[in-house]
Chain A
């Protein structure tokens, strides 16, 4: 199935805007999660203080990431976990595949993990003849539909109930119904079979605690608990930025994440898993493998501006708040991580060259910065990335080859702009000339759609006026007006 790519964000966005059903779903998302988040943060006395502490904790951890990772790995190993280091996605997939093969396993269940989406783990396993089963309801829906997630937390938000019912009818023989409870019940029944037979469970990790080597997994459905309790082997894929210093730091992150993401005080389940069982007769997997994955993250440490994007706890609040995401949804971004955080980390993880439109998928309104529980300054990051697109400073991105889009005319235009605005004389004469020239395009007191020859001569004007009118220049500049009115 052809997925939209990030190189055509403009086109993807325009198509998404035509999709009435999608826009309804997104409107629902924005209002529902927006309202719930607002109510939920009222239950914390000093929400702003909490955000600052969490950000400070992340900054400290990232500034000494090697130390904390080392402590995490050692403590996890001491408790019986096996640690694997993967410098990129391909290596991580290989590690997972080898672990499965070595154990002669074929039946694999998965709980929701954006890190595994990032590295296209399912595709890698399927290419080798395995059939991993997604068990999170939203992920299972998109797996059946051969689609990618369109949101970090609710992956199937772009699908209507009707579409899901039809999908279930077609793929798993569930009689069509409008009843969400019935659809959910069908999913439970069908997936229980997979749980009962599973030999390997693959999960993500929300937080890794350095002090104890503990991994924490948050969820509402119970599928992650089943995935990590029933099979004999548990493989947890963890981005290296997920490490936090101490067990008690979980208190602040658990206060922030569910409230920010879904407006809950806590999700239904948190599992804190430290190594493997103490005694053979205890419950749980025989083996725990933690795959610590870099895949571009350590490169992002190189600059404090980009490093803050590693503080992300994947709550999804920025997606819910973003006016761009609210209109076009996640698929338009053409990247695994959509929305504001996606626009920032995708160019860093996969290179600016193929993701050059993403930093521009924003009006810089700052709604994301307001809601981010760890105070990531996404607009600052977007500007930083835009500067890299045009000037190729390339610090912290995958690409060191210089500017992506050098746009010489744009640079010239900005140079002239800077020169003219810095000189009162030039500004005045520029305004006078422009006032005369604009008569070519002003109709009925507005500059409407500019086409034809004018469009060819002044493409930026044509682009601007394709969707909006431009006001004409006033008959006099303010200074001319002042001088006239204060003569004598």
Chain B
């Protein structure tokens, strides 16, 4: 296949030369690289957390901003009660575990916390609780890395997903997060990185929006400000 590629590229070399000369003449004076900075999204007044909340709510996600883990556990408990969630899967994120344990402990006997749920068990769970390694304020996006946490199925299979994230993990732009992800080189990149922006959706039927197709129908993000979390889980 490489031979085919090189052969065809070679065939166009004379055409390429003509077009390159043409473009160089046309672009004289234009500085394309200067535009790189300007292609950032419009400037937002306010903190990254506020921006995140606005962006997430615009795509039908729920966002609570709390101080400290106890308040986070309260927020989670409210979600559990509101949804009548019985079986709650939690990922291996230490932060998520602490908060879920606290929340479930005070939620009454109805609900049950499941660690290390396998795929089959997850299909029977009502709620999945995970952490998140990054947030992206400009779009209300969560970024989860497989090296840091087993997130793939807990954030996907149950019909509702709660993510707890520290405020300091929220960055302004996707570009920042992508650069951070790539900064350690190919070897340091997590084998699966998942970006989540709001609940699952489709408009395949007459372009009518339907929330909750194959992924969760509800996404809740609890942002913990202040002294929350000890080891960035």
Contact = CB atoms under 8 A, between A and B. Distances in A.
Q: Do A and B come from one complex?
A: yes
B35 A307 contact: no
A341 interface: no
Nearest to B38: A46
B207 A28 contact: yes
Chain A's interface size range is: 35 or more
A196 B219 CA distance: 22
Contact of B195 (A78, A135, A212, A270): A270
Contacts of A480: none
B2 A69 contact: yes
Given A188-B213, A251-B175, A52 B32 contact: yes
Contact of A212 (B19, B36, B189, B204): B189
Interface string B196-212: 11111111111110101
Interface residues of B, number: 69
Given A184-B205, A214-B189, A221-B200, A294 B32 contact: no
Contact of B179 (A53, A160, A248, A276): A248
A66 B5 contact: yes
Contact of A161 (B152, B181, B208): B208
Q: Which interface residue of B42, B204, B205 has the most chain A CB atoms within 10 A? A: B204
A58 B207 CA distance: 31
B194 A252 contact: no
Contacts of B212: 184-185, 188
B182 A247 contact: yes
B147 interface: yes
A471 to B, nearest CB: 39
B106 interface: no
Interface in B158-213: 173-175, 178-179, 181-182, 186, 189-208, 210, 212-213
Contacts of A46: 35, 38-39
A268 B8 contact: no
Nearest to B11: A302
B198 A268 contact: yes
B25 interface: no
A223 to B, nearest CB: 4
Interface in A442-460: none
B35 A157 contact: no
A282 B186 contact: no
B194 A269 contact: yes
Given A87-B4, A278-B147, A221 B186 contact: no
Given A137-B205, A212-B182, A266 B156 contact: no
B2 A45 contact: no
A374 interface: no
B215 A75 contact: no
Contacts of A277: 146, 191-192
A180 interface: yes
A364 B36 CA distance: 32
Contacts of B207: 28-29, 32-33, 154, 157
Interface core residue of A246, A294, A298 (most chain B CB under 10 Å): A298
B192 A272 contact: yes
A265 B201 contact: no
Nearest to B206: A161
Contact of A276 (B15, B175, B191, B210): B191
A69 B5 contact: yes
Interface string A182-205: 011101100110011000000000
B150 interface: yes
Contacts of B119: 196, 230
A282 B146 contact: yes
Nearest to B9: A301
Interface string A149-192: 00000111101110010000000000000001101110110011
A330 interface: no
Given A250-B178, A251-B178, A284 B36 contact: no
Given A137-B205, A229-B152, A304 B186 contact: no
Contacts of A221: 200-202, 213-215
Interface string A77-98: 0111000010100000000000
A246 B198 CA distance: 26
A66 B2 contact: yes
Nearest to A140: B204
A300 B197 CA distance: 36
A23 B41 CA distance: 36
B1 A240 contact: yes
B115 interface: no
B182 A183 contact: no
A307 to B, nearest CB: 7
A267 interface: yes
Contacts of A211: 182, 186
Interface of A: 25, 28-29, 32-33, 43-46, 49-50, 52-53, 56, 63, 65-66, 69-70, 75, 78-80, 85, 87, 135-138, 141, 154-157, 159-161, 164, 180-181, 183-185, 187-188, 191-192, 195-196, 211-214, 220-223, 225-226, 229-230, 240, 246-248, 250-252, 254-255, 262, 265-278, 282-284, 292, 294, 298-305, 307
12 contacts: A53-B35, A53-B39, A56-B32, A65-B5, A137-B213, A180-B208, A188-B213, A251-B178, A268-B196, A276-B191, A277-B192, A300-B8
Given A187-B213, A225-B156, 8 more contacts: A79-B191, A87-B1, A184-B202, A188-B214, A220-B213, A251-B174, A282-B150, A302-B9
Give 7 closest A-B pairs by Cβ, nearest first: A222-B215, A49-B35, A138-B204, A247-B182, A222-B214, A302-B8, A301-B8
